[in-house]
């Protein structure tokens, strides 16, 4: 809520890779909002692979404690993970989502200026369950007579499916098209995905006041959803999905709008919100000064909007949209020639 906050305490966790380039840009954009939000107070916090290599811990307890006890919200960059399993290391972002119970990952994907020849406009929101599915990371490998055998547990619960379903209906209901697509693969995974799909479907019947009566619901198997996303993205409005499908679908949707460097997200729970660009640590461009800061600035906007600071959020979104539409100051991922700093400067000028 926005009630009488004098200052807004924001945890800043750039973590690894281009997170260290784009999160400072988002911070600068927030600072430029002046009195449209309470005075921001930034608290720098550690997490990630680099933190692990220096301290042996990927997610220091202090980071969790400060987020829980002192911060109103946070901005997270990205983590670079080793390609092979390293003993003692596991992704701090997955752990943070669990620790703070940030059960909903909300990822709006839209095209600002459809390019010439692009036949359809993308304007959708991927609502990704954020705490379970294969991300419970219960994997094991055993040796059998016939060689190695590896297994992973995929957890789907009624509780988590219901609360992500409620968020998805809430988001769909607030949009003009009011259309929700439930993504699953219950033709193969009839028990796990069957539970997800049934539970989400039941959400409207749980509210006595019929508040979701205006929402139309469609279902789509994940494979055909990807196909249709590329053929006719305009049919999708809000998509709700278990964790892994949501992850893959949102990267795919990002390709449709030009770059991962444009797509923001928030990790939201009942008591906390953390903005995070959808992209990863982008090892191929790190240190070159050309990472696109717009996804992070949009993530800051989403975070502020979630907290009720609509005016500040609108200003950030309008400034980013202008920069994208004008297309004179863009980073190479959007076929531009500008640096991270130049794009930030363009956003600040429009603020
Ligand atoms: P990770 O394992 O950390 O996710 P990755 O190799 O999958 O790393 P991503 O960060 O997911 O890399 O990015 C995928 C591709 O998109 C890379 O080529 C990367 O350079 C590009 N990309 C991602 N984010 C941005 C950005 N903000 N600006 C410019 N290019 C980006
Ligand atoms: Mg990636």
ipTM field: 0.96
**Ligand 1, atom nearest to 281 Cα:** 3
How high is the pLDDT of residue 262?
A: 95
Helix H or strand E encompassing 11: strand 7-15
Cα-to-centroid distance, 56 and ligand 2 (Å): 24
How high is the pLDDT of residue 248?
A: 94
Radius of gyration of the chain (CA): 20
Per-residue pLDDT band at 87 (split at 50, 70, 90): confident
Q: Where are the alpha helices (DSSP H) in 79-130?
A: 92-99
Q: Is any atom of ligand 1 closer than 6 Å to the C-beta of 333?
A: yes
Q: Is any atom of ligand 1 closer than 6 Å to the C-beta of 23?
A: no
User: Is the model's pLDDT at 120 over the cut of 70?
Assistant: no
**Residue 292, token pair as written in the block:** 């696109």
Q: What percent of the chain has pLDDT over 90?
A: 88
Higher pLDDT, 213 or 82: 213
DSSP for 268-332, written as a single string:
E-SS-EEE--SS---TTTTTSS----HHHHHHHHHHHHHTT-HHHHHHHHHHHHHHHHH-SS--G
How high is the pLDDT of residue 70?
A: 96
Q: Tell me the average pLDDT across 220-234.
A: 96
Contacts of 274 (CB under 8 A, 6+ apart): 11, 73, 74, 75, 76, 96, 100, 102, 266, 267, 268, 303
Q: Is any atom of ligand 1 closer than 6 Å to the C-beta of 72?
A: no
Per-residue pLDDT band at 234 (split at 50, 70, 90): very high
Cα-to-centroid distance, 176 and ligand 1 (Å): 32
pTM of the model: 0.92
Q: Whose CA is nearest to atom 5 of ligand 1?
A: 282
Per-residue pLDDT band at 4 (split at 50, 70, 90): low
Test site for ligand 1: of 282, 284, 300, most ligand atoms within 8 A of the Cβ? 282
**Ligand 1, atom nearest to 285 Cα:** 20
Per-residue pLDDT band at 129 (split at 50, 70, 90): very high
Kindly identify the ligand whose nearest atom is closest to the C-alpha of 248. Answer: 2
Q: Is any atom of ligand 1 closer than 6 Å to the C-beta of 295?
A: yes
């Amino acid at each position: 809520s926005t009630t009488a906050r004098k200052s807004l305490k924001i945890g800043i966790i750039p973590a690894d890779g281009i997170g260290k380039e784009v999160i400072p840009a988002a911070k600068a954009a927030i600072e430029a909002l002046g009195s449209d939000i309470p005075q921001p107070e930034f608290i720098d916090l550690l997490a990630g692979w680099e933190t692990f290599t220096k301290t042996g811990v990927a997610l220091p307890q202090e980071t969790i404690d400060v987020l829980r006890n002192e911060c109103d919200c946070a901005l997270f960059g990205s983590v670079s993970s080793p390609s092979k399993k390293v003993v003692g290391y596991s992704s701090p972002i997955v752990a943070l989502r669990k620790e703070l119970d940030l059960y909903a990952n909300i990822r709006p994907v839209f095209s600002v200026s459809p390019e010439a020849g692009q036949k359809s406009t993308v304007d959708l929101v991927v609502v990704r369950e954020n705490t379970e599915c294969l991300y419970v990371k219960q994997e094991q490998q055993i040796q059998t007579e016939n060689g190695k055998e590896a297994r992973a547990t995929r957890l789907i619960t009624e509780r988590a499916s219901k609360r992500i379903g409620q968020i998805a209906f809430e988001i769909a209901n607030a949009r003009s098209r009011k259309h929700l697509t439930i993504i699953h693969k219950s033709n193969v995974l009839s028990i796990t995905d069957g539970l997800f799909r049934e539970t989400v479907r039941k959400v409207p019947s749980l509210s006595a006041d019929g508040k979701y009566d205006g929402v139309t619901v469609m279902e789509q198997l994940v494979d055909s959803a990807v196909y249709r996303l590329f053929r006719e993205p305009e049919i999708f409005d809000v998509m709700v999905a278990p964790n892994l499908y949501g992850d893959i679908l949102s990267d795919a949707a990002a390709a449709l709008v030009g770059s991962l460097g444009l797509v923001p997200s928030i990790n939201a729970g009942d008591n906390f919100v953390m903005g995070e660009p959808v992209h990863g640590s982008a090892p191929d461009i790190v240190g070159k000064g050309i990472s696109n800061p717009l996804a992070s600035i949009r993530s800051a906007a989403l975070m502020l909007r979630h907290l009720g600071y609509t005016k500040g959020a609108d200003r950030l979104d309008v400034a980013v949209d202008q920069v994208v539409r004008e297309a004179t100051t863009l980073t190479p991922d959007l076929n531009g020639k500008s640096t991270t700093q130049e794009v930030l400067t363009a956003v600040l000028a429009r603020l």
